Amino acid sequence: MFSKILIPVSSEGFSEKAIERATQLVSFSNGKIFILYIIEEKMLDEVREVSDYAMTKETKQKLRKNIIEEREKIAKDVIIEKIDEIISNKNVELEIEPIQIGEFSDSISNFLKSGEVGLIFLGFKQRKFLEYRVIKRSNLPLWLYKKEKEDIKPLVVVSNLTVNDIATDSIFDLAKKFNLKKLDLKYAIDYSSEKRYERTKEGIKEKKESRKKIRKESKRFIEEFRQKCERNNITPDVEIIKDNMEDVAIEGARKHNSDLIIIGDIMKKDRLTLKENIDKKIVEKAPCSVLLAR
């Protein structure tokens, strides 16, 4: 997941701290960072709307061309140069993609068709509607950077309504990279839907479960997590909580002063109902970064 990372950069701004963290992650495996600079159509549309009554068609086309050229120059002379400075001498390969003009999430989706990356890394600047469209459209893991200390302190939040193996794999991978000696985990039992998901050789399967079986599975999962921590000389801090995932994640991050919330994947068939309530709200309300582990 962390060896090939895509960092989309918007013409409306970018986060140097996010790029520094992504570079650190990739450097552990001498991996590769892809930079995709996007001149957002939204910004060009706003300029067009302002000038609709004041300019001729030819003048508006010239203005659009000038704005694009200006943004391309800023991208090459300032932003890309700054990114190259951050990444230099870090045992990281850098690939700058051709500058894109279009809608932010569409440009990302088009690039992902190449299948070259394992993680999308975004600096979160309260541009909620854009980040949320990326969340909905992508099947790749997505790291939304807000703020983190240099030595990362992650919290993994799992549930009977999520597929949890990639989330727990991710936290142990980070523990190894950052030499973490303590890991925090919350298991949210959500009875709003009496079922659970698991990954099998045939794919991801949904199981109808009684409340008793859901509780039993949560205890089995926690015990397995504890054992894996012990094998890796890590102290686990685990808790099973009967509540929705959003509240468990936000309250848990505040309690543990976490830098990163890692949450398991929510099944596609549930995303029309659960995705809005879980992923979006956690991303918006979290006091720290969020990794959607898929």
CATH of the domain at 242: 3.40.50.620
Domain co-membership, 69 together with 159: no
The full DSSP string for 262-290 is EEPEEPGGGIIIIIIIIIIHHHHH-SSEE
Please give the pLDDT value at position 163. 82
Q: Please say which residue of 99, 128, 145 terminates a domain.
A: 145
Distance, in Å, from the CA atom of 14 to the CA atom of 29, rounded to the nearest integer, reads 24
Q: Please say which residue of 124, 145, 166 terminates a domain.
A: 145
Split into its structural domains, the chain has a count of 2
Domain co-membership, 49 together with 117: yes
User: 162 and 245 in contact (C-beta within 8 Å)?
Assistant: yes
Q: Please say which residue of 145, 173, 194 terminates a domain.
A: 145
Domain co-membership, 140 together with 166: no
> What range defines the domain where residue 286 resides?
154-292
Distance, in Å, from the CA atom of 123 to the CA atom of 254, rounded to the nearest integer, reads 20
- How many C-beta atoms surround the C-beta of residue 28 within 10 A? 16
Distance, in Å, from the CA atom of 101 to the CA atom of 153, rounded to the nearest integer, reads 37
- How many C-beta atoms surround the C-beta of residue 229 within 10 A? 21
Please give the pLDDT value at position 140. 83
Please give the pLDDT value at position 86. 86
Domain co-membership, 173 together with 64: no
Domain co-membership, 287 together with 200: yes
Cα 17-2-204 angle, rounded to 5 deg: 125
Domain co-membership, 98 together with 223: no
Domain co-membership, 109 together with 29: yes
Please give the pLDDT value at position 274. 41
pLDDT in tens, 231-283: 999 999 999 999 988 899 999 999 999 999 999 876 544 443 444 456 677 88
The phi, psi pair for 166, rounded to 5°, reads -70, -35
Domain co-membership, 18 together with 120: yes
Please give the pLDDT value at position 82. 84
Distance, in Å, from the CA atom of 190 to the CA atom of 248, rounded to the nearest integer, reads 10
Domain co-membership, 215 together with 249: yes
Q: pTM to 2 decimals?
A: 0.84
CA dihedral over 214, 215, 220, 225, signed as positive or negative: positive
Residues of the chain with pLDDT under 70: 12, 42-55, 125-133, 135-137, 195-205, 266-279
Domain co-membership, 211 together with 173: yes
Domain co-membership, 124 together with 195: no
Specify burial of residue 117 (Cβ count, 10 A radius: 0-12, 13-18, 19+).
buried
Domain co-membership, 82 together with 162: no
